[in-house]
Amino acid sequence: MLLASLPFYPLVSFLLLILFAKRLSWRLASAISVGAMALTALVSGLLVFELSNSSSHFISVDLWHWFSLSSQQRMAEVNVSFYLDGLSAVMISVVSGVGFLIHLFAAAYMKDDANFSRFMAYMNLFIVAMLILVLADNLVLLYLGWEGVGLCSFLLIGFWYQEQANVLAARKAFIVTRIGDTSMAIGLFWLFSSFGELNITAVSELIRGVGSSEIGFSLQESTDIYWIALLLLGGAVGKSAQLPLQTWLPDAMAGPTPVSALIHAATMVTAGVYLIARMHSVFLFAPEVMNYVAWLGAITLLLAGLAALAQTDIKRVLAYSTMSQIGYMMLALGAGAWSAGVFHLMTHAFFKALLFLTAGAVILALHHQQNIFKMGGLLKRLPFESALFVVGLICLMALPGTSGFFSKEAIIAELWLSTTAGPALWWCAIIGALLTSIYSCRLFFLAFLGNERFTEKLHIEKASLMRSALLILALLSLFGGLISLDLSEVFFKIKAEELISVNEPSWLHTIAIATPFVGILFSWFYFKNYRVDSNLEDGVKTNLTASEHRFAIFCRNGLGFDSLYDVLLIKPYQLLAKLNRRDFIDQTMMSTAWYVGLWHDVMTMIQNGNLRWYLAAFGLAIMTLIGVSIL
């Protein structure tokens, strides 16, 4: 019953917080929300331990029957059931473990907010939806969790709804991800129509069995698998902010920083990666789509790296960095390096949560200033936060010995010889690593070195809740790469008909390891004015400003994707709506409104407060009834 109870703790916490929000003190609300997450993390640890000692390599539990579906092939039972294997064990560890630490940080970070209980309730609800997503044993239940995390993302991005920009950002995230969600829903309909099954294990076994047989798939079945995989990919790129549905993530930084750490760095944005990994049996028999996955990941990681180089907002730098790192995960999945992709998902959750939360501590100290050109000199003023931010950055740059090094190198090592990737995508990964080290150094130099470019006195927060969460994340970021993931029972590979021995060049690993150092060396000289005290000329302090070069502005604005979509999609839609606002359907609806308004006016005339009028109407009604009855 441990598995069945896992989403129960944050669900109870959500209900308590949302029902008694105004009556709970900060201390009690924190105890309920953080305590529920601590229980969730503890139960997750017990489940992972139980799974490691299980001979069947999985744990499953059926809660209740939901509904039945019928197709031409068979009748399918859709149950509320949970399934835990090596892949979902990694996910619940990340969701509950990192989620607990972020809740711990958020309890102190959001302490003074008037709607603290509501905020923590939404955070708990997100954990419930995410756990349902990763534990679902069928695709319908997975889709329920999928939509649940989208709803929570909308609520949390727009948590400070008093500001219009936050509301617009929440709406944008909700609408853009709905495009991917629609694609995924169509893919699930197609999957059930073609194979008559929605249970994840059953679908995998069915496709493996037919695909590995001597007969193999028919032409129609191969076409179906291709389109199903492509539609599922559409869902994945929407939720994981990959090209071409990546535009919502940078704007999602409008939400509170703990939201950015939990939802838009460590968990929800990796849901697309989890979906492809979970449905890997479908993608294995659609190698063209796997190639699309790899190329989409590669292009996204390069474009996001370029955009990060021009950002002025510390959270937007980290947002584009997240897009880039998820691009690496997609690249790994497209290359068939399933375990490496999941490994990077886990390590990325550690160091990106650390970076976001440390950035939050810096923002809090600077009275919510997020512009890195208005920071500087924080290494001396905030040594604790600066040291932890450096830990996160060296993991992001994948310097040897860090968790990011082990996971990213595991991906890059698989690319050269992959039949769905190859040398071109290997070079994309290397260039991406170079861009990562450059924008990481630029961020550190601007925010923590050089002159102090802020005027207000620092608000140094030494809350033990915040610092303990940051320290644990720093340790996980440094040593998380030593965690051994055995996912051999989860992922299988198609047996090749002929094994062709191809030796990769010996210099590949040397270049991969050296690339971050090349980026650091380049940044040290190119961004010299960012890292040195430059207030010496005639005693006048030199102010640093962001580049106004056209290409820099182009990159800062997300490489023009928002403008492109505005021209191609939004403005034509608005024009069509304007031209069609007096169509037949609209006029019908407006006539209904007119009819209701007419009766409102009539009733207003009748209800005039005149007693004589009421008595006359009453008498007239009686006379009418008597006349009708006589006739």
pLDDT in tens, 249-263: 999 999 899 999 998
Asked whether residue 291 falls in the same domain as residue 392, the answer is yes
pLDDT at 619: 87
* 612 lies in the same domain as 511: no
- In this predicted structure, what is the pLDDT of residue 210? 79
Query: Are 514 and 602 part of one and the same domain?
Result: no
Among candidates 237, 261, 63, which has minimal Cα distance to 156? 261
For residues 337 and 459, state if they share a domain.
Answer: yes
Q: Residue 618: which domain range?
A: 584-630
Residue in the structure block whose two tokens are 């980290």: 318
**Do 598 and 469 share a structural domain?**
no
Q: Is 268 found in the same domain as 167? A: yes
Residues 139, 511: Cα–Cα separation, whole Å: 41
At position 380, the amino acid (one-letter code) is K
Number of folded domains that form the chain: 2
In-domain check, residue 559: no
- Assigned domain for 417 exists: yes
**Token representation of residue 16:** 């308590």
Shared domain for 462 and 588, answered yes or no, is no
State how far the Cα of 213 lies from the Cα of 72, in Å rounded to an integer.
Answer: 23
- Which pLDDT score, from 0 to 100, does residue 73 have? 63
Q: How far is the CA of 622 from the CAs of 120, 134, 625, 631, in angstroms?
A: 61, 68, 5, 14
Look up residue 7 and give its DSSP letter. Answer: T
How many whole angstroms separate alpha carbon 306 and alpha carbon 436? 9
Note whether 377 and 266 are same-domain residues: yes
Strands 75-84 and 59-70: antiparallel
Q: Which three-class secondary structure state does DSSP give residue 225?
A: helix
Residue 561 lies in a domain: no
- What pLDDT, on the 0 to 100 scale, is given for residue 502? 66
Phi, psi of 161 (to 5 degrees): -75, -5
Contact 250, 319 (CB under 8 A): yes
User: Residue 448: which residues within 8 A CB-CB, separation 6 or more?
Assistant: 375, 376, 377, 378, 379, 386, 389
Question: Prior bond to 572 cis, omega within 30?
Answer: no
Low-confidence ranges of the chain (pLDDT < 50): 496-500, 536-540
Domain co-membership, 478 together with 606: no
- 177 in helix, strand or coil? helix
- 560 in a structural domain: no
Strand partners, 83: 60
User: Token pair 């299980």 is at which residue?
Assistant: 54
Evaluate whether residue 569 is within a structural domain: no
Token code pair at residue 120: 């923590």
Bridge partners of residue 77, in order along the sequence? 68
Q: Write down the residue that tokens 């959001």 correspond to.
A: 110
127 close to 91: Cβ distance less than 8 angstroms = no
Nearest by Cα to 322 from 301, 342, 337: 301
| Residue 463 DSSP SS3 | coil
Residue 555 lies in a domain: no
**Same domain for 602 and 465:** no
Please report which helix (H) or strand (E) contains residue 76, including its range: strand 75-84
Whether 165 and 56 map to the same domain: the answer is: yes
Note whether residue 535 is domain-resident. Answer: no
Q: Looking at this protein, which amino acid is placed at residue 24?
A: L
Q: 526 lies in a domain?
A: no
Nearest Cα neighbor of 139 from 272, 278, 5 is 278
Q: In a 3-state reduction of DSSP, which class is residue 75? A: strand
